Amino acid sequence: MKLSIGIVGLPNVGKSTLFNALLKKQVANVANYPFCTIEPNVGIIEVPDERLPVLAKIVNTTKIVPAVVEFYDIAGLVKGASTGAGLGNKFLSHIREVAAIVHVVRLFEDANVAHVSDKINPTDDLQTIENELILADLETLEKVKSQKSKVLPAGRQGKIESEKLKVETAEILSESLNKGIPVRNNNLTDEQKEIIKTLNLLTIKPVIYVFNVSEEQLQNKDETEEKIKEILNSVGNKNFCSLHLCAKMEAEIVAFSPEEQKEYLKQFDLMESGLNRLIKKSYEILGLISFLTAGSLEARAWTIVKETLAPQAAGTIHTDFEKGFIKADVIPYQKFVDAGGWTKAREQGMVSTVGKDYVMKDGEVVEFKVNA
């Protein structure tokens, strides 16, 4: 499975508008009717990183290469999708292909933009999507549970125990799902998580709830945030990850210069755009971090999963680097900046030399030493 994010929600909640804003150009078709998106649009989105221009200036390079996240704009879902309504199984199969979900919920009121159920009820809308994903997972788990009585050949004790654990886990999860509790909210053991990984369940995927608001709701920050909190609490979401933005406004301000954007956003008491906040949250929810390299050729952010060891991090630059890994020089970003580059950082004893068992940390500036 790719480390990608799927943008989902009911038709006409602003998914494609948001996707277009992310791409900073018109890619997805935006229309005032359901299912104007059939196949998912795919976009490679740069992760905003204020550290890279600073590093580039220190090492005197003009080439900056940020980390990226892959976004999918997936077709709108309707009630009954788990049984084939709307785009049904096609929609669900597209969600299975992504590692995490951005669930767009409509909060804005606009008589010119049709709603699939002819009324704005964000609680019902959010629950509709949740229910369809739950129903799809229940169907998957029923297939596993049906194997309970299957007799395996003698001499395959390990396989028997594995299948037994899978069935037991499926039964536990089915019970939770029938109570409206998604798989991600179950306290599964590492062994249980591993045994159901191949099922690619939909409700195990991490979710960011993005509430699409009007500019007026954006200005009424406290009131809007309180309303969002009530919605999420009412559907039983705990430890949720959410944010709100105005997709229409975000799509308009991408044409502004960075300075103009900052000035415009001040009236909403915002330090950065909703898009930047979403991209950063998406990167984090995938469990990703970046290490940095800074040399005369480029300043670059390299994407790794948390808890990655130094040799595997080196392998993201080139596979031969992992095989030939000897050691790595690492320094926290801020210390590198304070020192003014590698030479002075080494002179001041700020650089650590680490080996194969070193766990990489976000934002470290790194130089790898490898066998040629």
CATH number of the domain enclosing 336: 3.10.20.30
Residue 68 is assigned to a ligand binding site? no
Sorted by sequence, the CB contacts under 8 Å of residue 107 that are 6+ apart come out as: 120, 122, 211, 212, 213, 214, 217, 224, 227, 228, 244
Residue 15 is assigned to a ligand binding site? yes
**Domain-located, residue 301:** no
Structure token pair of residue 183 = 């798989």
Confidence at residue 104, expressed as pLDDT on a 0 to 100 scale: 94
Residues pairing with 210 in the sheet: 104, 243
Q: Are residues 77 and 148 in the same domain?
A: yes
Q: Are residues 74 and 194 in the same domain?
A: yes
Q: The whole model's pTM is what? A: 0.84
Q: Are residues 194 and 151 in the same domain?
A: yes
Residue 14 is assigned to a ligand binding site? yes
Residue 59 is assigned to a ligand binding site? no
Structure token pair of residue 286 = 């995938």
Q: Mean pLDDT for each consecutive 10-residue tract of the chain (372 residues)?
A: 81 86 58 38 86 96 91 71 49 84 90 64 90 91 79 58 87 93 91 92 94 94 93 77 93 88 91 91 92 95 95 95 96 97 96 97 96 80
Confidence at residue 96, expressed as pLDDT on a 0 to 100 scale: 87
Residue 16 is assigned to a ligand binding site? yes
Q: In whole angstroms, give the CA distance from residue 260 to residue 361.
A: 34
Q: In whole angstroms, give the CA distance from residue 121 to residue 79.
A: 14
Task: Report how far Cα 107 is from the mean position of its chain's Cα atoms.
Answer: 21
Confidence at residue 33, expressed as pLDDT on a 0 to 100 scale: 31
**Domain-located, residue 294:** no
Nearest alpha carbon to residue 140 among 86, 190, 95? 95
Confidence at residue 216, expressed as pLDDT on a 0 to 100 scale: 93
Q: Are residues 255 and 350 in the same domain?
A: no
Q: Are residues 279 and 311 in the same domain?
A: no
How far is CA 172 from each of CA 153, 177, 187, 191, 333, rounded to the nearest angstrom? Answer: 26, 9, 11, 14, 45
**Domain-located, residue 296:** no
Full domain range(s) for residue 124: 4-285
Residue 63 is assigned to a ligand binding site? no
Confidence at residue 1, expressed as pLDDT on a 0 to 100 scale: 45
Confidence at residue 191, expressed as pLDDT on a 0 to 100 scale: 93
Nearest alpha carbon to residue 246 among 75, 110, 47, 108? 108
